[in-house]
Amino acid sequence: MGNCCSVTLQVTCDALISRCLDCTFGRAAYLCSMEKNLKSLTNALEELKALKNDVDRAEAQEQRRLDQVQLWMSRVKDIQVEVDELLRDKDQELQKLCAGGCCSSSCKSSYEYGKKVNEKWKEVDDLILKGRTFNVVAREAPPPEMRQTEQTVGMESMIVELWKELEEPEVGIVGLYGMGGVGKTTLLDQIYNKYLDTPNDLDFIIWIPISRNHRIEKIQNEIGRKIGCSSDKWENKEERQKAQGIFWALRKKKFVLLLDDVWEWVDLKKVGIPIPDETNLSKLIFTTRDEHVCSKMGGRKKRVKCLEEEEAWKLFRENVNVAEDVLSLDPEIPVLARNVARKCAGLPLALIIVGRAMSCKKTAREWKDAIHVLRRSASEFEGMKEVFPLLKLSYDNLSSDQVKACFLYCALFPEDYAIHKDELIYKWMGEEILKEYADVDGALNKGYTIIGTLVRSCLLEDIRGHVKMHDVIRDMALWLACELEETRDNFMVQAGHLLKEIPNVEKWEGVKKMSLMANDIENLDTIPSCPNLHTLFLSNNRLKMVAQNFFNSMSTLRVLDLSKNKGLAQLPSGISKLVSLLYLDLSETCIAALPIELKALVKLIYLNLEHTSELDMIPQNLLSSFSKLRVLRLYNSGTCKSILGDNAHLESELQSLKHLDMLTFTIQTDLISERFFTSNKLLSCTRFLCLDGLSFLDISPLACMKRAYSLTINSCGLEYNLNVLNQSSFKHLEAVDVHDCPNLSDLTWLVFAPNLKTLSIRSCSNMTEIIRLEKLGEIAQVDEMNQFSKLDELILVSLPQLESIYGDKTLPFLYLKRIEARGCQNLKKLPLNLPKRDLVITGEEEWWNMLGWENEAVERAFLPCFRPYK
């Protein structure tokens, strides 16, 4: 037994010694150092990955990858895979080691594994050393190039103002908005070039066109090209990966990004653009035709406006004389050229294109013909054919056919015409553009939304309760109305053309919308054939006579406007043919009686009889036949005087109009006022009320008028009991006009009109205070901070005894835009504390100079607001 054991032990030891001797011949080092080498390889790989990431980020901040870097990155990618595969067997190979790691149960495989570890470690180290030698990993970005721009005549001051604003650290985003062709791109180009010309520490100055229906990927590719990420690999990346690359490239850089022609909100986060702010001192400047885009993009908004007349003339003159001094060829031409320039209404695009088109017109007769063409049909003028398609993009971008129809409708009014917003919406109701709204408020709300869209799209201009259409935009709208297949030949517009007779009625056959307003037409004595006519504007003419059969072929007519024809005293009985009529405006005519034939107008929803002082007779059962009537306007109508006399039947007929939603009315006798204030129907639907010549009236019952938003008080003696009123008494009241009331000393009851926007007080000789603070002590609850907080216009005229507006207190006046004070020599202090940028104060200089202020600093702050009254 002992001998056997001795022999076995000897054989085993011999084998072990033999293996160890084998390992000593160049193999032992791989086994003994395996564990240490594995750790070193793992650490080296992590260092290589970090270096690769650094190179990736550096590349993203610069340009397209250099070939040598591309090769290195490819090798790094391969070796990562190889090392990962090698390390997967690490635990298994380490378990084979024995004798303190210097031997292995499988010496050959351990040797081969240890050798691979050692070789990969060396390869990784070599790649690390190579990567550290890269000072430049990509080609530099192509230097930004100066942009060629159009003339900047008249824009110099805005360029200076905008540049000054961009120099402010807190200004990160600025949106330039305005109508097409107004010069937004020119302004953006000028700012871009100024950045290139001005020494600065900017890393990137990037100009990118956006255009309609933009795609995030296209913007990313443009930015990528400008910052040097453009390559086949970049093009194939996903949107999210590109955004990440752009973000890494720009996040620690100072950049200026200029985006031209933005039509809808650009999500900067999706693109990968870090938000410019006071921290990174970067800037984003963009142009758009839609103010709403400015709001969504954030930052400051700046409107680019049309040029003033002299600036426009200078720009036009430069383009007319581009080749030779055409304006000096004939003494008549400069005068005629001024008229052509005015037709462009300060729009730089039109001034440039029309000016260049006229540069070859060298005789006065050519210029006269051009003016005739521009006035008759601007779309036929050669230059305008280039302008209109560019402006049409704004029309194309409108959200719906309904909004587009409302826009084209505005072209029915004359050039430079201030269109009252409410009147426009009532006409849209008559056209059934807003037919989905059963009540007036719903239609008005929708109408104001549409107007807001058109204003923000710079297709209409908002002017205090009115809108205007720029002359060139109007010409474009008329061009569209003639060019679009669905409206071609449907519009006939000759508004403000000084016509003395109606145009050739033979051309009326296919017309759907016709406007002959603001002419000198006296007689409608020709019988037209127009079976498709929906709209007829004849307001503001000199009409005296309408032929009996004039309306015979107008059975489809929906809107008829005969207002402001002060010589029109009678309507023809043939008006009964207008069986489809929804809208009828007879305001400011001298019609004395309404014909009974009007009973045929059973679809009527709108009837305007305001300022018809001669109208003293409405036939019995006429009003009640308008069972669908929603709007009835009787403000300052002679009918109101006799509503309890010859027109006593009107009271019950008004009560019977179930759909009547909006009434304007004038109360001129104490007896009518008593009956009026006891009628729930009249109180509930009256929106505009005039109290005229009443000897005595307690104002308190007016609190029952839950929907009244305009109140006129003329030549009345009023009393009121504040204790019977409360904070909701006049909450809907938005406009108050008080004039010629010598017995009134104050209007303290206005503290219960928190939504008041316009207050006009004139010729009240004994008015000493508007709000008498002593009377407020009688009231339990009055929110002083809410007084006049929504007021935007305050007019004070011929109030010689007025001493204060709100005692000696100041009020916030959050929305106040205009104060007019004339003939108020005793008003020595205004209740103002902080000036607003858009506040205008008009009055006599003598009055302004004697006003008292809290201190000199406040006085200096308000000085820019003052405009001397002339």
Which residue spans within 6-158 are E strands per DSSP? 97-98, 103-104
- Judged against a pLDDT cut of 50, whether residue 368 lies above it is answered with yes
Q: Token pair 């690490």 is at which residue?
A: 90
Measured CA to CA, the distance from residue 606 to residue 428 in angstroms comes to: 11
Average pLDDT (496-523) is 91
Question: Would you say residue 844 has pLDDT above 80?
Answer: yes
Predicted confidence (pLDDT) per residue in 247-257, tens digit: 888 888 889 99
Question: What mean pLDDT do residues 122-146 have?
Answer: 68
Q: Residue for token digits 């023809």?
A: 572
C-alpha 206/C-alpha 223 separation (Å) is 7
pLDDT at 306: 92
Question: What is the secondary structure of 434-467 as a DSSP string?
Answer: TTT--SHHHHHHHHHHHHHHHHHTTSSEEETTEE
Beta strand pairing call for 419-420 and 466-468 = antiparallel
Cα separations (Å) of 846 from 115, 823, 828, 863? Answer: 102, 11, 11, 14
Is it the case that residue 16 has pLDDT exceeding 80? no
* Structure confidence at residue 93 (pLDDT): 66
pLDDT band (50, 70, 90) for residue 61: very low
**What does the pLDDT read at residue 247?**
87
Please tell me which residue, 338 or 728, carries the higher pLDDT value: 338
Q: Dihedrals φ, ψ of 462, to 5°?
A: -90, 125
pLDDT at 331 over 50: yes
Backbone angles phi, psi at 55, to 5 degrees: -65, -40
Band the pLDDT of 798: cuts 50, 70, 90: very high
Give CA separation, 263 vs 191, 292, 468, 643, in Å. 20, 10, 23, 55
Nearest CA to 824 among 854, 780, 783, 794? 794
Q: Which two tokens stand for residue 266?
A: 């650009």
Mean pLDDT along residues 497-511? 87
Residue 173, strand partner residues? 284
Query: What is the phi-psi region of residue 255: left when phi exceeds 0, alpha when psi lies from -120 to 50, beta otherwise?
Result: beta
Least confident span in 106-120, 267-281, 666-680 = 106-120
CA dist., res. 349 & res. 174, Å (int) = 23
The mean per-residue pLDDT over the stretch 210-226 comes to: 82
Asked if the model's pLDDT at residue 596 lies above 90, the reply is yes
* Those residues with Cβ within 8 angstroms of residue 192's Cβ, 6 or more apart along the chain or in another chain: 147, 205, 207, 258
3 state DSSP class of 689: strand
Question: Which range (10-14, 447-451, 733-737, 812-816) has the least confidence?
Answer: 10-14
If you ran DSSP here, which 8-state letter would residue 593 be given? B
What does R_g of the chain's alpha carbons equal in angstroms?
A: 41
**For residues 493-500, average pLDDT:** 92
The domains located in the chain, with CATH, are 17-132 (no CATH), 156-303 (3.40.50.300), 309-376 (no CATH), 387-481 (1.10.10.10)
**What's the average model confidence in pLDDT over 141-159?**
78
pLDDT of residue 249: 81
Distance between CA 254 and CA 242 in Å, rounded? 19
- C-beta separation of 543 from 562 below 8 A: yes
The SS3 assignment for 631 reads strand
User: Is a pLDDT exceeding 90 seen at residue 460?
Assistant: yes
Lowest mean pLDDT among 191-200, 384-393, 698-707: 698-707
User: In this model, does residue 868 exceed pLDDT 90?
Assistant: yes
The Cβ of residue 164 has, within 10 Å, a number of other Cβ atoms equal to: 10
Question: What is the C-alpha to C-alpha distance for residues 437 and 449, in angstroms, rounded to an integer?
Answer: 13
Give the pair of three-digit tokens for residue 138. Answer: 């990509």
Q: Tell me what the pLDDT averaged over the chain comes to.
A: 84
CA distance 80 to 63: 25
> In whole angstroms, what is the distance from residue 661 CA to residue 442 CA?
11
Question: What is the mean pLDDT of the segment spanning 593-620?
Answer: 93
Residue 12 confidence class, pLDDT cut points 50, 70, 90: very low
Distance CA 100, CA 104 (A): 10
pLDDT band, residue 140 (cuts 50/70/90): low
The answer to which of 64-78, 548-562, 787-801 has the lowest mean pLDDT is 64-78
Q: Residue 489 has what pLDDT?
A: 61
* CB 404, CB 486: distance < 8 Å: no
Percent of the chain scoring above 70 in pLDDT: 87
* Choice among 99-108, 611-620, 808-817 with the minimum mean pLDDT: 99-108
Integer angstrom CA distances of residue 369 from 353, 478, 554, 732: 17, 20, 36, 54
Amino acid 175: pLDDT: 93
Residues 358 and 340 sit within 8 Å (Cβ to Cβ):
yes
Other beta carbons within 10 Å of 120: 20
Q: Is the pLDDT of residue 4 over 60?
A: no
Task: Report the alpha-carbon distance of residue 97 to residue 34 in Å, rounded.
Answer: 9
C-alpha 519 chain-centroid distance? 34
Residue range 549-564, pLDDT digits in tens: 999 999 999 999 999 9
- Residue 766, burial from CB neighbour count under 10 angstroms (0-12, 13-18, 19+): middle
CA distances from 857 to 74, 570, 610, 854 (A): 69, 63, 49, 8
The partner residues of 176 in beta bridges, in order of sequence, read: 287, 302
DSSP string, 806-830: BTB-----TT--EEEEES-TT----
Contact predicate 692/666, CB 8 Å: yes
3-state helix, strand, coil in the chain (%, to 5): 45, 15, 45
> Quick check: 98 pLDDT over 80?
no
> Which pLDDT does position 96 carry in this prediction?
66
> Are the C-beta atoms of residues 595 and 571 closer than 8 Å to each other?
yes
Cα separation, 102 vs 91, whole angstroms: 16
* Entry field: residues in the chain: 870
Q: Between 628 and 212, whose confidence is greater? A: 628
pLDDT classification of 67: cutoffs 50, 70, 90: low
Q: Tell me, what amino acid is at 157?
A: S
pLDDT above 80: residue 58: no
pLDDT of 432-450, one tens digit each?
999 888 789 999 999 999 9
> Residue 294 and residue 311: Cα distance in Å, rounded?
27
User: Which of the residue ranges 47-61, 78-92, 117-131, 741-755 has the most confident prediction, judged by mean pLDDT?
Assistant: 741-755
Give the pLDDT score at 15: 43
Q: Residue 485's CB: how many other CB atoms inside 10 A?
A: 5
- Separation CA 794–CA 820 (nearest Å): 6
pLDDT at 14: 42
CA atoms within 13 A on the CB side of 25: 6
Three-class DSSP category at 868: strand
**If you average pLDDT over residues 85-94, what whole number do you get?**
71
Give the rounded percent of residues in the chain with a pLDDT score beyond 90.
40
Question: In the structure, what pLDDT confidence band is assigned to residue 647 with cuts at 50, 70 and 90?
Answer: low
Which among 746, 647, 659, 744 is positioned nearest to 697, based on CA atoms? 744
Tokens 């917003």 belong to 421
Q: Has residue 842 got a pLDDT over 50?
A: yes
Q: Is the pLDDT of residue 13 over 50?
A: no
The region of weakest confidence among 12-16, 501-505, 602-606 is: 12-16
Please state the rounded mean pLDDT for residues 759-775: 91
Q: N- to C-terminal Cα distance for the chain?
A: 137
